[in-house]
Copies of this chain bind each other. A is one copy, B any other.
């Protein structure tokens, strides 16, 4: 299992290659909720999401061992694709990303801008099969999106950076897709801020992690979910992440309407272009705060800010700004 010291080492490795993103808060939101909500603005990270942390850590660790691959492959139509493409560009390693034909134009552009080749397949199943075949070629490294100790260690650096900026907090909140970010967060927080409760948030329509924790075994979604929070649409968590996710103080399943609600409000209050996956965590925050005394200090990890036009259109199709956040 990934240890705290793995995260400390990852942080040293990647520090010079990533941005230190700011902590942002809204006095209006703090007033309305009676607590202090500190947001780690990781949507301002290189490639627009935390995913670069794990991808860079993977390659940087191999570089230390003089064991860099000749080429890298990955399967993703989301932020992991851009993260791998960017990390490979730092080490001048050719990268090939296997994705589906419905990948959004903006994500395809960015992946190619970072120098990666993009191979598109009709279905996710076909893309997954193709990456598996490509990965057996000699000198090829397949960088997985979440279920690997080096990825988890890399993602755990986000909360380390954040806690250094905020000091101790009472609660830490992050979205759950495959569980890489949340696992790294749990491991780091247990050492750095052991009194803090750690919560995940997941779309109700893609609640495989909540279901897995309830049944105490990994449950997969039976079909691709329909959700605004595409970063948390992963069909299942992995063996590595599931073991760590068992340490969570809770996971909240969020309706699509609340995901849109919080995306509108956080974009408006924080002036950040942040993903529904990131905003979703706020529903877990308010549900937790309802049962706490006033004046809690809360850290919310805003995981990313890559949103295509059709999602933005959906998010802003109804007016949620008429309903002020409260407990």
Nearest B residue to A266 via CB reads B273
* A44 CB contacts on chain B under 8 angstroms: 24, 271
How would residues 289 to 310 of chain A score, 1 for a CB under 8 Å from any chain B CB and 0 otherwise?
A: 0000000000000000111111
A312 CB within 8 Å of chain B: yes
Q: Which of A171-179, A238-246, A314-322 contacts B (4 or more CB under 8 A)?
A: A314-322
How many A residues, CB 8 Å from partner?
37
- CB contact under 8 A between A324 and B109, given known A310-B319, A316-B309: yes
B319 contacts A309, C-beta separation under 8 Å: yes
A313 contacts B317, C-beta separation under 8 Å: yes
Residues from 76 to 135 in A contacting B, C-beta threshold 8 Å: 105-106, 109-110, 113
A273 contacts B267, C-beta separation under 8 Å: yes
* A28 CB contacts on chain B under 8 angstroms: 109-110, 113
How would residues 136 to 159 of chain A score, 1 for a CB under 8 Å from any chain B CB and 0 otherwise?
A: 000000000000000000000000
Given contacts A264-B309, A312-B316, 8 further A-B contacts (CB under 8 A): A28-B113, A44-B271, A106-B321, A264-B312, A271-B305, A272-B272, A309-B316, A310-B319
A270 CB within 8 Å of chain B: yes
* A317 CB contacts on chain B under 8 angstroms: 313
A274 CB within 8 Å of chain B: yes
Nearest B residue to A302 via CB reads B271
Q: Which of B106, B110, B305, B320 is within 8 Å of A309, CB to CB?
A: B320
Nearest B residue to A308 via CB reads B321
A214 CB within 8 Å of chain B: no
A31 CB within 8 Å of chain B: yes
A190 CB within 8 Å of chain B: no
* A307 CB contacts on chain B under 8 angstroms: 268
Q: Which of B109, B273, B306 is within 8 Å of A270, CB to CB?
A: B273
A233 CB within 8 Å of chain B: no
* A308 CB contacts on chain B under 8 angstroms: 321
A73 CB within 8 Å of chain B: no
A271 contacts B321, C-beta separation under 8 Å: no
* A48 CB contacts on chain B under 8 angstroms: 271
* A188 CB contacts on chain B under 8 angstroms: none
Residues from 256 to 283 in A contacting B, C-beta threshold 8 Å: 264, 267-268, 270-274
Q: Which of B106, B264, B271 is within 8 Å of A43, CB to CB?
A: B271
Identify the 10 closest CB pairs spanning chains A and B, nearest first: A271-B305, A309-B319, A312-B316, A271-B273, A267-B273, A43-B271, A313-B316, A106-B321, A105-B322, A309-B321
A321 → chain B, closest Cβ, in Å? Answer: 5
**A–B pairs, 19, beta carbons within 8 Å:** A24-B44, A28-B109, A31-B113, A48-B271, A105-B322, A106-B268, A264-B309, A267-B273, A268-B307, A271-B273, A271-B274, A271-B305, A272-B273, A273-B273, A309-B320, A309-B321, A312-B312, A313-B313, A316-B316
Residues from 158 to 209 in A contacting B, C-beta threshold 8 Å: none
A245 → chain B, closest Cβ, in Å? Answer: 28
* A43 CB contacts on chain B under 8 angstroms: 271
Nearest B residue to A31 via CB reads B113
Nearest B residue to A310 via CB reads B319
